[in-house]
C-alpha cells in the first residue's frame, strides 16, 4: 500500500462521550461492518470528568464507500452511546482563512509550510486591517482582503469577515498576530474554529512592548500559547505551548526575535493538529492526540 493517504479511502473519526462499557467494541464493530482497517488509534479516558475520547484513522477496502454514507451509518452508534463526533476524509485540506496585522512572522511561516505540503490546509484568503502584507499574499497567489477596523466600523468589519467565511466555505480562521479584539458575538460564531497565538508573558506583561517589560524584570523563559478563541480574551482552550530559555545577556530585540520564532512554531503546530483532527474539546481544556 502507498504511504500517501488515498482520497476517498482513508478517514479520521474523532469522538467524545460519557465513558461506558462496550463503547470501543461498538466503534470497531462499525468499522468491521464497513470493511474498515484501523491504521492508527488513540484514546484517553478522563476519569475526573468520566468522559472518553478517541481518534481513529482507518481505511476502507471498498473505494466506492462515500464519506456521507459512513456518516449516516455511524449515526445510530453515536446516538446509542451519546457520542459527539466528527468524521473526515484524511486528504481533504482544511480551508483556512488567515488574519494578520503588522507582524508577519506567523503568516509567513504558515504560507511557507502550506506551500511545501507540510500543512494540509488550503488558504482561500488573507484578511488584514492593514495593507503591509498584500505583496506577500500576491506572491503566493492568495486573495488579499483589506478590512480596516476602527471603533466606528468594527461591527461592519466583522460582518464582512463573516461574509467571507461563508462565501469561501472556511473551516478554520487563524489569527496570525491579528491585533484586534474580536467581539463576543464573533467569538461565539467562530467557536471551535478560530485559533489565536500570543506571547507567554500574559497576564504579567500586558499592553505595549511586553518584551521590554520582560527584559527589565529579568525573565528566564520566552514562550507562546496557541488557543481557541473565546469571548474570554486570551483565555480559550489551549492547544499548544512552548518556551525557550533566555538569560541576562539577551537584549530586548533578541528576546523579540526569539519570541517570534517560538510563536510561529507553536501556531503552526496548533494549525497542523487541528487540520489533522487531533484536537478534541474537553470543557475549558483540550485533548490533543499527537
- Active-site amino acid positions: 234
Cell of 13: 473519526
Spatial distance between the Cα atoms of 185 and 203, rounded to a whole number of angstroms: 23
DSSP secondary-structure letter at 128? Answer: E
E strands present in the chain:
10-18, 36-46, 51-60, 84-89, 94-100, 121-128, 144-146, 172-175, 194-199, 221-228, 238-245, 279-282, 285-288
Residue 247, Cα to own-chain centre: how many angstroms?
32
Nearest to 145 by CA among 130, 166, 162: 130
Cα–Cα–Cα angle for 161, 162, 163, nearest 5°?
90
Nearest to 281 by CA among 236, 215, 249, 251: 236
Spatial distance between the Cα atoms of 272 and 110, rounded to a whole number of angstroms: 10
Amino acid at each position: 500500500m502507498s504511504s500517501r493517504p488515498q482520497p476517498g479511502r482513508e478517514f479520521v473519526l474523532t469522538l467524545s462521550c460519557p465513558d461506558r462499557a462496550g463503547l470501543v467494541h461498538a466503534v470497531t464493530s462499525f468499522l468491521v461492518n464497513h470493511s474498515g482497517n484501523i491504521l492508527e488509534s488513540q484514546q484517553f479516558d478522563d476519569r475526573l470528568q468520566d468522559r472518553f475520547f478517541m481518534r481513529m484513522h482507518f481505511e476502507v477496502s471498498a473505494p466506492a464507500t462515500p464519506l456521507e454514507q459512513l456518516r449516516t451509518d455511524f449515526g445510530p452508534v453515536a446516538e446509542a452511546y451519546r457520542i459527539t463526533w466528527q468524521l473526515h476524509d484524511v486528504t481533504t485540506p482544511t480551508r483556512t482563512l488567515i488574519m494578520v496585522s503588522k507582524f508577519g512572522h506567523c503568516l509567513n511561516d504558515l504560507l511557507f509550510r502550506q506551500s511545501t505540503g507540510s500543512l494540509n490546509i488550503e488558504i482561500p484568503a488573507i484578511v488584514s486591517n492593514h495593507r503591509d502584507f498584500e505583496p506577500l499574499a500576491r506572491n503566493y497567489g492568495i486573495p488579499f482582503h483589506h478590512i480596516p477596523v476602527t471603533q466606528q466600523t468594527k461591527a461592519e468589519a466583522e460582518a464582512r469577515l463573516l461574509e467571507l467565511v461563508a462565501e469561501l466555505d472556511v473551516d478554520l480562521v487563524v489569527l496570525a498576530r491579528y491585533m484586534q479584539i474580536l467581539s463576543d458575538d464573533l467569538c461565539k460564531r467562530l467557536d471551535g474554529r478560530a485559533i489565536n497565538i500570543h506571547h507567554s508573558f500574559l497576564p504579567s506583561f500586558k499592553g505595549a512592548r511586553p518584551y521590554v517589560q520582560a527584559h527589565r524584570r529579568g525573565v528566564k523563559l520566552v514562550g507562546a500559547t496557541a488557543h481557541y478563541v473565546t469571548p474570554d480574551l486570551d483565555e480559550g482552550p489551549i492547544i499548544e505551548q512552548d518556551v525557550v530559555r533566555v538569560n541576562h545577556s539577551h537584549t530586548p530585540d533578541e528576546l523579540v526575535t526569539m519570541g517570534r520564532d517560538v510563536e510561529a512554531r507553536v501556531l503552526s503546530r496548533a494549525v497542523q493538529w487541528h487540520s489533522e483532527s487531533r484536537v478534541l474539546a474537553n470543557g475549558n481544556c483540550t485533548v490533543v492526540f499527537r
